[in-house]
Structure 1
Amino acid sequence: MGAGILGAMTRHRIFGMSFARIYPLYVAKVERKGHGQAEVDQVIEWLTGYDDAGLARVIADGTDLETFFAEAPALNENAPLITGVICGMRVEEIDDPLMQRIRWMDKLVDEVARGKKMSSILRGS
């Protein structure tokens, strides 16, 4: 009945959270540091392959993060180059693919907020 030692059956609450709920938090975070929504959109679009219309649609639809990534047009092939610590975890060591994608997105937004160069954030692409 239990999820086992590794919690394999555990579904993280964040997976069911809507993208529309976290998106304004991302924008507010970068705006506090003198950056803008366009930069947030750029890094999310780079990661997921969504365009402006696609992002607007998933926001309007209340799409959850699990569906957001499952339906992402094209996960960037350079996404595995995203490394570092976010929420106390090294993103390159996260085993759950969906959680890793969410944390990649968090990391990219964090790098925008910190003022890292866009060429570096987008892993040279």
Structure 2
Amino acid sequence: MSGHRIFSMKFSKVYPLYVQKAERKQRTKGEVDRVICWLTGYDLAELERHIELETDIESFFEQAPAFNPKSALITGVVCGVRVEAVEDPLMQKIRYLDKLVDELAKGKAMESILRE
């Protein structure tokens, strides 16, 4: 594995943080799952399997069956960095997911989050 330390983190450690962030703002785990599945192409069973297997983040994104082509429409700032300007492809995918969960927690409509 190369680069950032987050690449080797287990997705199962980050996932509950996404759910907690959403739930604090009266959104649901199901909505977080929908956003993750939309972005990665995983179905719910595959998502749960990766969580149970404690897949690292790098493998989670590399094994994504169909990364959504509409992800290029995700723009904005996460942790002070513009997601569309992130040069490392893996880090950009991670930031895309961070941004989608942020939008969910901020109360945006699901249609808007999923770029419909």
TM-score normalised by L of structure 1: 0.90
Match of 2:31 among 6, 28, 39: 39
Distance in 1 between residues matched to 2:101 and 2:55, nearest whole Å: 19
Per-residue deviation at 1:36? 0.5
Question: Which residue in 2 is equivalent to 1:4?
Answer: none
Question: Which residue in 2 is equivalent to 1:5?
Answer: none
Question: Which amino acid in structure 1 is aligned with residue 11 of structure 2?
Answer: F
Counting aligned pairs with the same residue, the percent is 61
Question: Which residue in 1 is equivalent to 2:103?
Answer: 111
Per-residue deviation at 1:87? 1.1
1:4-61: CA deviation from partner (whole Å, max 9, x where unpaired): xxxxxx6100000111000000000010000100000000000000111001110011
Give 3-state SS (helix, strand or coil) of 1:24's partner: helix
Q: Higher helix share goes to which structure?
A: 2
Calculate the aligned-residue CA RMSD, in Å. Answer: 0.7
1:52-109: CA deviation from partner (whole Å, max 9, x where unpaired): 1001110011101100010001000100100000011000000000000000000001
Runs of 4+, deviation exceeding 6 Å? none
Question: Which residue in 1 is equivalent to 2:59?
Answer: 67
Does residue 105 of structure 2 align to residue 102 of structure 1?
no
Greater gyration radius: 1
Unaligned runs of 5+ in 1: 1-9
Distance in 1 between residues matched to 2:11 and 2:43, nearest whole Å: 15
Question: Which residue in 2 is equivalent to 1:3?
Answer: none
Question: Which residue in 2 is equivalent to 1:49?
Answer: 41
Distance in 2 between residues matched to 1:64 and 1:20, nearest whole Å: 8
Give 3-state SS (helix, strand or coil) of 2:65's partner: coil
Give 3-state SS (helix, strand or coil) of 2:69's partner: coil
Question: Which residue in 2 is equivalent to 1:15?
Answer: 7
Unaligned runs of 5+ in 2: none
Does residue 97 of structure 2 align to residue 121 of structure 1?
no
